[in-house]
A and B are shown apart, each in its own frame.
Chain A
Amino acid sequence: MNTTIMLFLLQDGITNGAIYALLGLALVLVFAVTRVILIPQGEFVTYGALSYAMLATGQVPGTAKLAAAMGVVAFGLDLFDARRSLRLKRVLRAFALNIALPAMILALTYGLAGPKTPIGVNIALSLLIVAAIGLFLYRIAFQPIAHTSVLVLLIASVGCHLALQGLGLVFFGAEGLRGPALSNTALTIGPLRFTGQSLAVYGLTIAFIVALWLFFGFTLMGKALRATAVNRLGARLIGIRTTLSGQIAFLLASLIGAISGILIVPITTLYYDTGFLIGLKGFIAAIIGGLVSYPLTAIAALLVGSVEAFSSFYASNFKEVIVFTLILPVLVLRSLAAPAVEEEKD
């Protein structure tokens, strides 16, 4: 192999790795705050990507209606939970969040969708739709069982993944879609050619990591989220609603997923079920980071991306096998290093 090929592969690996890093960070975030291993993270990717691709052709994606429908269910759950102290203020707040907000997003989507809609508007609409779905997914599927064990939450998570994937087939069909590129500029350095798209991937990944760092390090809400992750009971005892923390974590995760999707859909054709595999690679990075460490997850994601790039060059048939094998030595090492712990009861 010569240096040029190696550089190409590295570049490819880092571009993919940056996406995996975003997804891995979202997984760590969600797990830390809610103890949910977010299998449907991949669906956020496909929903974001394919909603964007459909909007680019001027169609209204079914995800906008899904968000509205989930809002109605969430509203029902909110009312049921608050049935013993049904105050007007509480009902109005639930209505604004669960009914008015998704209805507005749906109306905006219908109003703005068209073949000539600017890319920026399409991106914003896709992000809004997927963020709403993420928020309501937590409300409907996870908030009622938030106190149960990690295993129960994982099973619910798998259920959500299957349901959302099935709905994805309904909304987007079995055919793959591609979206328009964010920019067509390109930059050549030596033998490497950086497209505007890959530069956007790097830029947004770095921006997101910095933004997350600022959010968790310096804002009260970010600290409250960290506090929930460190000590749930302690957080509740000072009045931090763990349900609010969970909703914010899911909101961030769905936003990150959708952005990742929008970043890759101009590069590769995405199908309704592609997200799962992409999410799984983010998951490997998160596992290597022990589901707790953000920096380790980001580095591991770059490793996963690079290994994937090199193995697709040398043994493309075994690409996925090699990538997923990465997890084995890590699990063995971790199980040797850490003593077995009983799951905490809380």
Chain B
Amino acid sequence: MSVLLSVSDAHVSYGKVEAVRSVSLEVADDEIVTIIGANGAGKTTLLNAIMGVLPLKGAAAFAGIDMAPLDIEDRVAAGLCLVPEHRELFGTMNIEDNLQLGAFRIPKATAAKSFERVYALFPRLKERRKQLAGTLSGGEQQMLAMGRALMGAPKLLMLDEPSLGLAPIIVADIFRTIGELRAAGVSVLLVEQNAQAALKIADRAYVMELGEFILSGPAKDIASNQRVAASYLGFQHEGTSGI
């Protein structure tokens, strides 16, 4: 397996406040990697910096190319795609237009295939393709945001809190779809507060606290780590378990 994304010794700051300190991570081809951590740990900041929305100090390479001189649009062209926490859909345009714009950078013929693929992953979007994005429910908006990102046939999809504010049954649906992406040849970097669900589908995981990675390893090991279990999974190994 070759390394798709590699970030080493990354720092991200807002003015004088350093939100991410000396973080290194790797995502390989066909891998699902998750970053879990509490609210405010710096997960979103890190994703935004990898995407180029925020300036990143340190080294970051994607598919072997140094990303420092690339702006957001170049990174998208290289095959990196972010589904941001607030989804950033085009609310006054319908589902079909949103998806079509997701394929803005790729040739028309490929876009037609992308449509089929996205509609197969999210049949709900096909049913409602003439509905305005702004009038969709939270779950449908998340599906549309992921669908729009997938339209551009990215190599690595970065998902920022896809389960945020969604009903449990829809969260299960979204996570099932993320699992299916691997089969489609898309790697995933998933940032989640819902650690339980994230660790279940991920191959590897990083645990972030106060801007730093405090743990990393195969998702199974992280899930069985006592400290992680206590802080993020909501139960304790010794004695009574409960939520």
Which residues does A use to contact B, with CB under 8 Å? 84-85, 220, 223-224, 226-227, 230-231, 233-241
Contacts and interface: CB of A to CB of B under 8 A. Distances in A.
- What 9 A-B pairs have minimum CB-CB distances, sorted nearest first? A234-B88, A239-B76, A239-B105, A85-B69, A84-B69, A230-B90, A236-B72, A227-B90, A241-B73
A240 B51 CA distance: 14
Given A220-B104, A236-B72, 9 more contacts: A227-B93, A231-B89, A236-B53, A236-B73, A237-B72, A238-B101, A238-B151, A238-B152, A240-B101
A226 B93 contact: yes
Contacts of A240: 73, 101, 104
Interface string B133-174: 000000000000000110110000000000000000000000
A239 B91 contact: no
B104 A230 contact: no
B189 to A, nearest CB: 15
B97 A223 contact: yes
A160 B53 CA distance: 29
Interface of chain A, main secondary structure: helix
5 contacts: A84-B69, A85-B69, A234-B87, A235-B90, A238-B81
A237 B101 contact: no
Contacts of A239: 72-73, 76-77, 104-105, 152
Contact of A231 (B68, B77, B90): B90
Nearest to A83: B69
Contacts of B89: 231, 234
Contact of B92 (A230, A235, A237): A230
A79 B237 CA distance: 60
A234 B82 CA distance: 10
B97 A238 contact: no
Given A85-B69, A237-B51, A238-B149, A230 B77 contact: no
B55 interface: no
A39 B46 CA distance: 40
Best-surrounded residue of A231, A233, A238, A241 (most CB of chain B within 10 A)? A238
A238 B84 contact: no
